[in-house]
Structure 1
Amino acid sequence: MPESEPWEYSLHIPNDVRAVTVSRRTLRLILTVHGLITLVDVAELLAAELVANAVRHTKGPAALRVRWSPPGTLRIGAWDADPSPPQPPQTLAAVLEAEDGRGLALVRACADVWGWQPLARDGSRGKFVWCEVGAA
């Protein structure tokens, strides 16, 4: 049974492709411990896409943030140091024709809602790309 109290975790990651695997496994553990095993598969996919974009398209560090808000919303987000907005494919044809860039299309398809916001913290600029899934 999912917890009725809110919680949040952050995982700071280096710019390294191995961070995607570390993020997925960490997220799986967090969700399992909190009784949200039914969300693990979709959450892992979403987190992997967000972190992969952060690592692949930027040169600096990144972070994964996971937040649970009762009664049933899981927010997954990735911060990176590049303030440029994400560029998801706009049509199915664009997704099918693209050689890369399908990650945000998967996020749009699998999440209930997604978005991004520019961030400035401690003199650093960047963005936070997030999505939410509900525990039905």
Structure 2
Amino acid sequence: MPKDPFPMPFEQPWEYEISFPRDPRGPKVVRAALYTMLTAHHLDPLIERAALLTSELTTNSVRYSDHPVCVRVRWEHPVLRVSVSDSNPELPAVLKPGAEDECGRGLFILEVFADRWGGFSLGKEVFGMGGKTVWFELGLGDPPPIPALAA
């Protein structure tokens, strides 16, 4: 019988992927999963910014695409990268909304709170697929202390 694995070292890369239907509840589900992932991997200092930015990107995907959305969360010490892919090939534009505007703040928020971000279009029908991916990165300063279980 195989032994239970030890927790991964903090510096070791990992990746999770979540796909969800075009449903307005999807961003909330992804936020809950993101909180769980980042807490389990002791990345608490990144949780609030990651949740805010992921929420903005997934909400835009639900609003402006017609098919399921895919969120990929990747840790490669000391950088967390979150990528959101959907079926709409149009890359969004960064706007600086006025105080009275009710929408259009998503990428402005991304510009302010992400360490780096970008996106790319797959076109309308490239090899039977189309769509785009928008991503952001958050860097972590010092690593948290190693949990007793992993030591």
Following the alignment from structure 2 to structure 1, what is the Cα–Cα distance between the partners of residues 105 and 92? 12
User: 1:58 deviation in Å?
Assistant: 1.1
TM-score, normalised by the number of residues in structure 2: 0.81
The runs of 4+ residues in structure 1 deviating greater than 6 Å are none
Are positions 1:9 and 2:16 aligned together? yes
The match for 2:118 is: 115
**3-state DSSP class of the match of 1:96?**
coil
Q: What is the 5 A alignment of 1:34-45?
A: 34-45=41-52
**3-state DSSP class of the match of 2:65?**
coil
Are positions 1:33 and 2:40 aligned together? yes
User: 1:123 deviation in Å?
Assistant: 1.4
Percentage of matched positions with identical amino acids: 40
Unaligned residue ranges in structure 2 (runs of 5+): 1-8, 142-151
Unaligned residue ranges in structure 1 (runs of 5+): none
**CA offsets 1:72-127 (integer angstroms, 9 cap, x no match):** 100011100010111220x4xx3535321111111111001110011367611010
Tell me which of 118, 129, 132 is aligned to 1:127: 132
Following the alignment from structure 1 to structure 2, what is the Cα–Cα distance between the partners of residues 95 and 9? 36
**3-state DSSP class of the match of 2:99?**
helix
Q: Which has the larger radius of gyration?
A: 2
- May I ask how many residue pairs the two structures share in their alignment? 131
**3-state DSSP class of the match of 1:99?**
coil
**3-state DSSP class of the match of 2:92?**
coil
Following the alignment from structure 2 to structure 1, what is the Cα–Cα distance between the partners of residues 98 and 118? 18
Hey, which of these two has a bigger chunk of helix by percent?
1
User: 1:13 deviation in Å?
Assistant: 0.8
User: 1:36 deviation in Å?
Assistant: 0.5
Tell me which of 51, 67, 92 is aligned to 1:60: 67
The match for 1:85 is: 91
Are positions 1:48 and 2:51 aligned together? no
TM-score, normalised by the number of residues in structure 1: 0.90
User: 1:4 deviation in Å?
Assistant: 0.5
